[in-house]
A and B are shown apart, each in its own frame.
Chain A
């Protein structure tokens, strides 16, 4: 009896879901109701000015089309989505540094595009302070897309699909670079990840295992002074003791010696999907990352003081703590985010 009810329940749920899917079909692509931009429970106020560039369904769709359009590159082969792939939380899965036009290599690892609406600045060195100005950089970069925005405008300008999308989004089919930027921001601002197991535990709808819970406590003691808050970053520029190479990070922007080898503290959300790690993708697994903090931290003039306490460099982490930390980090994986058909290319 009990099992049949359960079965019936499941059956109804399934039917209900089907109905939902069917009804949503009319509303938006990707079988999801388009809800616009929403601040998740517990998140701070966004930094992105959604008042001046409000996210609309039409603007989002235009932004999505642009994001996945190879015409943004000189030879039509590379789209934003080539390096920012949805199922790896919009990183370039499997690529140490960015891999662009004609197989040219950049110097930095493509970061996750998630929760962009809360960032104070963008890129590993924080060089760009406004999301609307971000796309100009990959479009113009000779080793990424090697194009100019004005050429892109010329290329898509005669496309009647685009004309319609611009008209729907901005009320006029006049295609400009600025509107392109605003539409792409609308798409990127929508890429909110806030439904991981961690979030569900906070919301009281799931519980951590004992090991995950211990991992959380270790994280709070040893990691969260930099990877802090609900975004898992304090958005500061810090040197976490990686062996140095020619990329001087924040220094490139400020030309101040005190900023040498400092990089933006990255969010750790979806870190289970975003390997390889660090600004140049030097570590392939979370094990390697933690081993870096335990054993690999290099002393230098700008090494963060948090990583040099009581005359020791690095963080003391036992093998047991290491595995629990990793279990905790994996609770930041948000499957709904990476599988959301609203965001995916296909």
Chain B
């Protein structure tokens, strides 16, 4: 009886192994090979493409406005493999500043990605607290507070601004400015507001197939809806809160924009 059970167990295990071997051979990719993948951040205003300065929009409260600046940090990118595993883009290559005024920043290229079929992505809107506290020599590229990152950095509290949206509200002729500069990484030695937002997005059934042989790599085309900064859990009233920077109200705006990014489509060539 015991023996039989044992034999059965062995049989079951080897069947499983065989099964998985079969899958293995069916794979048309090799995770030890590295390819590329693109994230395209397409800034929108509701149904329309976002157009700085000249586009006029209206918030959930019916207040009209335009947008003169729309910038945000994307960091800590993790690709979700359809097999359930994850690939974390190495920290040093995982900070991106998307600026609507500079088209080249809309395309975030991730390189050295293991071949695989990726079904989703997660990232942070903003900059994690660790980078907010690192020595200057490790703040390179988009994070350099003396160069590329200098407009997205509060020198008086040494913290990054995660998202900046500025423009005019009411009517352009009355020239009322709004400025939303949202940051706050939780504080260095004493706690304070934390507006770091994690976002996880599914590619809605289309896998992004990363292969070494591809020259351009698959692309996830993401829609980033600037109106969602204003509309959502809290509908921001320009007249009541035209300037929001480092203060308690900023938490509402960060909560709003945590859902501003969605996947429009993924294409593999």
Binding site for B on A (CB under 8 A): 49, 52-53, 120-121, 123, 126-130, 132-133, 136-137, 139-141, 148-150, 153, 176-178, 180-182, 252-256, 259
Known: A149-B147, A178-B139, A181-B136. A133 touches B155 (CB 8 A): yes
Bound-complex Cα distance A139 to B150 (A): 11
Contacts of A254 in B (CB 8 A): 187, 190-192
Q: A176-B146, A252-B246 are in contact. List 20 more A-B contacts (CB 8 A).
A: A52-B135, A120-B189, A126-B189, A127-B157, A128-B155, A129-B133, A129-B188, A130-B136, A132-B136, A140-B155, A148-B150, A149-B145, A150-B150, A153-B146, A180-B146, A181-B136, A181-B146, A253-B187, A255-B246, A255-B248
Contacts of A252 in B (CB 8 A): 156-157, 246
Please give me the 9 A-B residue pairs with the lowest Cβ-Cβ distance, nearest first.
A177-B146, A149-B146, A137-B155, A136-B155, A127-B157, A132-B136, A254-B192, A128-B158, A129-B188
Of the candidates B136, B158, B191, B247, the one whose C-beta lies within 8 Å of that of A178 is B136
Most A C-beta atoms less than 10 A away, residue of B136, B187, B188:
B136
Bound-complex Cα distance A180 to B144 (A): 13
B99 to chain A, nearest CB (A): 15
B119 to chain A, nearest CB (A): 39
Give a binary string over B182-194; 1 marks a CB under 8 Å from any A CB, 0 the rest: 0000011111110
Known: A130-B135, A254-B192, A255-B248. A177 touches B155 (CB 8 A): no
Question: Nearest chain-A residue to B188 (Cβ)?
Answer: A129
Give a binary string over B117-138; 1 marks a CB under 8 Å from any A CB, 0 the rest: 0000000000000000101110
Q: Which B192-213 residues sit within 8 Å CB-CB of chain A?
A: 192-193
The range of chain B's interface size is: 20 to 34
Give a binary string over B236-269; 1 marks a CB under 8 Å from any A CB, 0 the rest: 0000000000111000000000000000000000
Is residue B72 contacting chain A, with contact meaning CB distance below 8 A? no
Pair A178/B156 contact, Cβ less than 8 Å: no
Q: Which B154-193 residues sit within 8 Å CB-CB of chain A?
A: 155-158, 187-193
B124 to chain A, nearest CB (A): 21
Contacts of A128 in B (CB 8 A): 155-158
Is residue B153 contacting chain A, with contact meaning CB distance below 8 A? yes
B79 to chain A, nearest CB (A): 30
Known: A121-B188, A178-B146, A255-B247. A133 touches B156 (CB 8 A): no
B110 to chain A, nearest CB (A): 25
Bound-complex Cα distance A49 to B187 (A): 21
Known: A126-B189, A255-B247, A256-B192. A182 touches B145 (CB 8 A): no
Of the candidates B135, B153, B189, the one whose C-beta lies within 8 Å of that of A136 is B153
Question: Nearest chain-B residue to A151 (Cβ)?
Answer: B150
Bound-complex Cα distance A253 to B150 (A): 19
Bound-complex Cα distance A137 to B155 (A): 5
Pair B137/A253 contact, Cβ less than 8 Å: no
